[in-house]
């Protein structure tokens, strides 16, 4: 009996990672540790992927392995100063992109401009913005999605089942409060390492 795949097939429109080795290696580690990605990846060239709950440093490890394992270049925002240092050699090839907090454009504006400049771009965001419990999520992902006119892919992290689950794709309407309330409800059943979303 064949084992279920660790990740679903890579859709043709998504931005691909150049390496074949690292996705293969990442899937192997995920399989050994019992983690899987459930659902179907959308066949779109541009989107924002939001993942929660984010309650532990481990989320970064499993999330990084999963993002590499699907073979798609999912960009993650990081301070420009980090990428300009020695770590940039390691972080740039795995999709980390610099944000300049001193630039004339704010972070939302910088990401909107990147979406406009690229034919294909997937951007990963943790809307909680921290591992600590928060009452309100940061609305930056909604503002980027609305201004860049790109869909939002929900991604649920669940430690009891060791799964990342692809939920519904939603569109930002411009009514950030209503959009946020609708999205937050989707994450309620899932549990992170230390808490729910």
pLDDT over 70 for what percent of the chain? 90
Give percent of the chain with pLDDT exceeding 90: 61
> Is residue 144 a part of any domain in this protein?
yes
For residues 129 and 171, which has the higher predicted lDDT (pLDDT)?
171
24 band by pLDDT with thresholds 50, 70 and 90: very high
- The answer to whether residue 13 is domain-embedded is no
83 or 24, higher pLDDT: 24
Q: Which two tokens stand for residue 34?
A: 């019992």
> Is 112 a domain residue?
yes
pLDDT on residue 182 = 96
Q: pTM for this structure?
A: 0.89
Ranges 2-11, 27-36, 52-61, 125-134: which has the least confidence = 125-134
Residue 49 lies in a domain: yes
Whether 1 shows a pLDDT value over 60: the answer reads no
Give the mean pLDDT of the chain.
88
> Based on the structure, what is the number of domains in the chain?
1
* Residues 124 and 74: beta-carbon distance below 8 Å: yes
Residue 15 counted as domain residue: no
Q: Is residue 10 part of a domain?
A: no
Q: What is the pLDDT of residue 62?
A: 93
The predicted pLDDT at position 97 comes to: 78
pLDDT in tens, 53-96: 888 888 888 998 999 999 999 988 877 776 677 766 766 766 77
DSSP code per residue over 135-184: SS---HHHHHHHHHT--EEEEEEETTTTEEEEEEEE---S-HHHHHHHHH
Question: Which of 52-56, 97-101, 131-135, 160-164 has the highest mean predicted lDDT (pLDDT)?
Answer: 160-164
Residue 88 lies in a domain: yes
4 in a structural domain: no
The band of 136, judged by pLDDT with boundaries at 50, 70 and 90, is: confident
Reported as a pLDDT band with limits 50, 70 and 90, residue 196 is confident
- Domain ranges, residue 136: 32-187
pLDDT of residue 170: 96
């Amino acid at each position: 009996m064949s084992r279920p795949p660790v990740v679903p097939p890579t859709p043709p429109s998504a931005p691909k990672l150049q390496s074949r080795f690292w996705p293969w290696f990442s899937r192997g580690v995920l399989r050994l540790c019992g983690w899987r990605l459930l659902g179907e990846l959308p066949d779109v060239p541009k989107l924002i992927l939001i993942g929660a709950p984010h309650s532990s440093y481990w989320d970064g490890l499993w999330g990084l392995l999963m993002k590499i394992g699907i073979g798609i270049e999912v960009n993650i925002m990081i301070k420009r100063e980090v990428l300009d240092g020695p770590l940039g050699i390691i972080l740039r090839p795995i999709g980390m992109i610099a944000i300049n907090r001193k630039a004339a454009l704010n972070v939302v504006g910088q990401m909107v401009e990147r979406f406009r400049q690229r034919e294909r771009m997937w951007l990963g965001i943790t809307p909680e913005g921290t591992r600590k419990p928060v009452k309100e999520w940061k609305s930056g992902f909604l503002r980027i999605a609305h201004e860049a006119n790109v869909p939002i892919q929900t991604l649920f992290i669940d430690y009891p089942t060791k799964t990342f689950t692809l939920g519904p794709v939603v569109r930002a309407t411009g009514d950030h409060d209503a959009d946020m309330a609708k999205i937050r409800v989707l994450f309620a059943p899932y549990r992170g390492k230390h808490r729910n979303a």
